[in-house]
Each structure stands twice: as C-alpha cells, then as structure tokens.
A and B are shown apart, each in its own frame.
Chain A
Amino acid sequence: MDVGQLFHDHYNALFHYLTRLSGDRDIAADAAQETFVRLIERPPRGEFHRAWLYTVGTNLVFEGERTRGRRLRLMNAAPHRAPISDQPRDAHEAMESAERRHLVTEALAKLPAKERIALLMREEGFSHREIATVIGTTVGSIGSLIARGLERLAGLVDLDRGEI
C-alpha cells in the first residue's frame, strides 16, 4: 500500500468532507492529517478501501466535537478564563461570511450524526454500501437516513426554492 499515493488521491476530498461535517476548518484539518498519520502507524489489514479513511476521519471529528463541548462547558463555568479572540478586520465581511456559514452549517449541525454523515458522504459520491460501512448499519437503512436528513434540512434551510 502506497500511503503517499493515497494521501495524494484522497487528502483534499477527505478534508472537504470533514470540514462540511464539522463546520470547522481547524478540526477538519487536524482530523484529516491525523487520519493519515494513523494510516502510516496502523494500516488496515487486507484490501484498502477509501471508506476506511472516512470512518477514521468521521470518528476523529466527533471525538474533537466532544472535546470542544467539554472545553466550552468549562469556559462557561469560568468565563473570565476564556481566551479572547482577535477582532475581525472587516466587520461587514465577517458578518456576511458568518451568515452564510450559519445558515447551512448550523442546519447540518442540528441533524442527528448518522443523517449528517449519510447526506455528506452521498455528496462525496459514496455508494449506499460504503456509507453503511462507515456508519455501521445496513445498506437498506441508508436511503431512510438520507431521506430523513433531507426532510429535516428542508425544514431548516429552504431547499424547495431557488434561494436559501
């Protein structure tokens, strides 16, 4: 198995998927890089499938979210100890960017994890079988997960009109 070639072929796509999944570029970058470090350290036995990368990356993102959740709870408990971020350079630009980001990523974040993974992996061109491998469920249930996630998203973001 040529890890260098796999990195070349899949790193960008994995980062893209993980950024959508987490809504956070830094978490996605960490998770994507960590996925390949684990591939170097403990490569999967037998034939390699790209779904392996997405399984590991997805798990790392959710671990990261749990850690971030703990950190936020600690900061809320002691707000005077929370770090203060820099002011944005351009307030208008920052607001627009935040709005666009919030509309979709917040809607995605409200979906149950399995529905979010199913929808986003489908967007990356995975088959229902591959998605089922990553989520750890049956192939037959993937259609239901995608349909439920889509219905929920349509209630949060207007998917039936031309604009969001």
Chain B
Amino acid sequence: MRSTLDRARHLTDADLVGVVDGMDGMDGMEEASLVAAHLLECSACASRLVIVKSRLARLTVVLREADSAIGATSPPHVSMETLDERAAARRLYRAHRTVSARISIVHSHRWLGAAAAVLLFAGAATAAVPALRGWVAARWAQVATPGATVRRTALPVSESPAAPLQQRGAVVSFHPLGDEFVIRFDKPPAGGVLVLSRVAGVASTSMSTAASAEIIRGGTTDELVVLPRELRIRNSASSVADYRVVLPASVHSVRIVFGNGPSERGSVVALPASVREEISLGKRPVR
C-alpha cells in the first residue's frame, strides 16, 4: 500500500479497505501505525473511511437480500457418498476411454497392418524356398558374427503356459436406454455379491448418463456383454464372483434375471437417489 505512507498525502480507498478489515494487507505494524496516525490528523480521510465502511456494510446487507432471490442459501442436497460414487464412475469412465483410445490408434494405423501383412508374406515366401533360405541364413551369419560358422539351433520354447484371460478389473462403460435396466445372469451363481449404485446428476452431461460394470472379485471365466437395455453376465453355475454396476440417474429400477427366461419375471430392485445396494447372489434377491 505503500506509496501513501507520506503523511502529506491522503489515504487511498484501498488503504481504507485495509483499515476496515483490521489493517489487513498492510506491511507490518509500522505501516499500520502510520495509517492510524494519519486518520487521527486528517478529517478528509476519516470522513472517507466512514463512507467506505458504510458501503461495505451496505453491500453485505444487499447481498443477503439477493441471496434468497437466487437461492444461495439453500444448496441442493447431495451426500458425500454420491460424490464418492461420481468420482468412482469417472475413474471407470477414464479407464474405458484410455482403452478405447488405444484401440482407435491401432485402427487408425491401417498402413501398419498392411505393412505387417506384406512382411509376413515375404518372409513366408522366402522360407518356402530352401535355396533362398540357406542363402539368407548364410548372409545373416556373416553379418552377425563375422567368421563364425552357420549353426542352426531350435528356437527356445516357453515352458510356462499362456496366462488365462483375466476378466477381473476389466471395466465396461455404456449408456443404458430407458428407466429400467436388466441384469441377466446366464446361470444362477453359487455365491458372490452384486453391488448396485446410482450416480445422481444435477446437470445432464455425458458423464451423468454413463453407466459402468466390472467384475471386482473372482469370475475369471465370466464375461460381461452390454445390450441397449440389458447387461448380460455370462457365468457358470459354480461362479462366486462379485460384480459392481454403476448406473446413471436416468435409471430408476433394475430387474435381475437368471437364465434365458423373459425379463418380466426377474426380481426388481428400485433405486432411489444416491443409493448403494449390495445384493447377495447366493440367496436369490426377492423384492
């Protein structure tokens, strides 16, 4: 504030705001003392201080009056759990987008696939002609180890079997249609839990209409298949996997169906706002 420490000059409104705010923003006690001393001596600055103080107080009143008109005093109810779910849904959504982006990068490089096909074809053709193959092997041996003789060795074979397809942790994101959603298990599972939650959204954004599903425990052979109004879980009767399904605010109820029967015969789970339901799959959910 600073340039006004000269007592011959009047204090600025910025200085006076600092005075009203308990000498806030001043560079220490010395400056605060000088400002206070000036106010005692200068009636013009003292009068101006009264105006600034009055305006700030009046602003407080005016803003409070406007608060009720714009609804500033009554925030919409939202629970911490809802925000947690929204953060979780967004993490799933981002993970899905990352995978999708990688897939699209692969698709966009079609020339790479074409080049690989040409190389494969050329390699196969070369290997098919014994004379050519011998010549290439001899040239390669000369280049790689000058002076060395060409030795043919069998390629090393991996002793470990291929890892099984891991479904757990894979996330499926989708946008369900309608206000009722069907979750259909191919077989009634032996156990496990289905965690259902619903994201409450204020604004209608792409995030607020997104749903996601994942296998959170077990279920290494299970598969998730998304249909417009249905999530199909391809499981076995011995499955004890846990699943998590996060649905948008537009979905109000979920019908859980076992087998290929009509979806009207499934158990219905109504989803009020901001809910998190844990359904034991060992016991059939009955509502």
Question: Quick one: given A104-B63, A140-B27, are A25 and B70 in contact (CB under 8 Å)?
Answer: yes
Question: Quick one: given A100-B65, A143-B25, are A36 and B72 in contact (CB under 8 Å)?
Answer: no
Cβ of B78 under 8 Å from chain A: yes
Cβ of B16 under 8 Å from chain A: yes
Which one of B18, B24, B54, B67 lies within 8 Å of A16 (CB-CB)?
B67
Q: Which residue of A lies closest to B58 (CB)?
A: A159
Which one of B2, B63, B78, B87 lies within 8 Å of A41 (CB-CB)?
B87
A150 near B66 with CB under 8 A, answer no
Interchain CA distance A130-B14 in the complex, whole Å = 17
Q: Which residue of A lies closest to B75 (CB)?
A: A15
B 78-106 contacts with A by CB, 8 A = 78, 80, 83-84, 86-87, 90-91
CB distance from B42 to the nearest CB of A (A): 17
Cβ of A103 under 8 Å from chain B: yes
Q: Which residue of B lies closest to A127 (CB)?
A: B24
Interchain CA distance A110-B271 in the complex, whole Å = 44
By a CB distance below 8 angstroms, the chain B residues around A122 are 21
Looking at B25, B27, B71, B91, the one whose CB has the most chain A CB atoms below 10 A away is: B25
Which one of B72, B83, B86 lies within 8 Å of A25 (CB-CB)?
B72
Which one of B55, B67, B203 lies within 8 Å of A20 (CB-CB)?
B67
Interchain CA distance A101-B272 in the complex, whole Å = 34
A33 near B78 with CB under 8 A, answer yes
Cβ of A160 under 8 Å from chain B: yes
A30 near B69 with CB under 8 A, answer no
A 120-164 contacts with B by CB, 8 A = 120, 122-123, 127-129, 139-140, 142-144, 146-148, 150-151, 153-154, 157, 159-160, 164
Interchain CA distance A150-B51 in the complex, whole Å = 11
Question: Quick one: given A143-B17, A160-B55, A164-B65, are A41 and B90 in contact (CB under 8 Å)?
Answer: yes
Which one of A16, A40, A140, A146 lies within 8 Å of B84 (CB-CB)?
A40
By a CB distance below 8 angstroms, the chain B residues around A127 are 21, 24
B72 near A37 with CB under 8 A, answer no
Task: Please count how many residues in chain A sit with their CB below 8 Å of the partner chain's CB atoms.
Answer: 52
A 26-62 contacts with B by CB, 8 A = 26, 28-30, 32-33, 36-37, 40-41
Q: Is the interface of A mostly helix, strand, loop or mixed?
A: helix
Q: Which residue of A lies closest to B27 (CB)?
A: A140
CB distance from B77 to the nearest CB of A (A): 10
By a CB distance below 8 angstroms, the chain A residues around B90 are 37, 41
By a CB distance below 8 angstroms, the chain A residues around B12 are 144, 147
CB distance from A97 to the nearest CB of B (A): 5
B202 near A143 with CB under 8 A, answer no
Q: Is the interface of B mostly helix, strand, loop or mixed?
A: helix
Looking at A3, A7, A37, A103, the one whose CB has the most chain B CB atoms below 10 A away is: A37
Cβ of B145 under 8 Å from chain A: no
By a CB distance below 8 angstroms, the chain B residues around A4 are 80
Interchain CA distance A160-B236 in the complex, whole Å = 77
CB distance from B98 to the nearest CB of A (A): 15
B63 near A150 with CB under 8 A, answer no
Cβ of B154 under 8 Å from chain A: no
Interchain CA distance A57-B80 in the complex, whole Å = 17
By a CB distance below 8 angstroms, the chain B residues around A15 are 72, 75
Question: Quick one: given A37-B87, A150-B52, are A128 and B75 in contact (CB under 8 Å)?
Answer: no
Which one of A100, A129, A140 lies within 8 Å of B69 (CB-CB)?
A100
Q: Which residue of B lies closest to A17 (CB)?
A: B72
Cβ of B34 under 8 Å from chain A: no
By a CB distance below 8 angstroms, the chain A residues around B60 are 123
The chain B residues found within 8 Å of chain A, CB to CB, are 1-2, 12-18, 21, 24-25, 27, 51-52, 54-56, 58-60, 62-63, 65-67, 69-73, 75-76, 78, 80, 83-84, 86-87, 90-91, 202-203
The chain A residues found within 8 Å of chain B, CB to CB, are 3-4, 7-8, 11-12, 15-16, 19-20, 23-26, 28-30, 32-33, 36-37, 40-41, 97, 100-101, 103-105, 119-120, 122-123, 127-129, 139-140, 142-144, 146-148, 150-151, 153-154, 157, 159-160, 164
Q: List 8 A-B contacts (CB under 8 A).
A: A16-B72, A19-B67, A19-B72, A20-B63, A26-B202, A29-B202, A30-B203, A41-B90
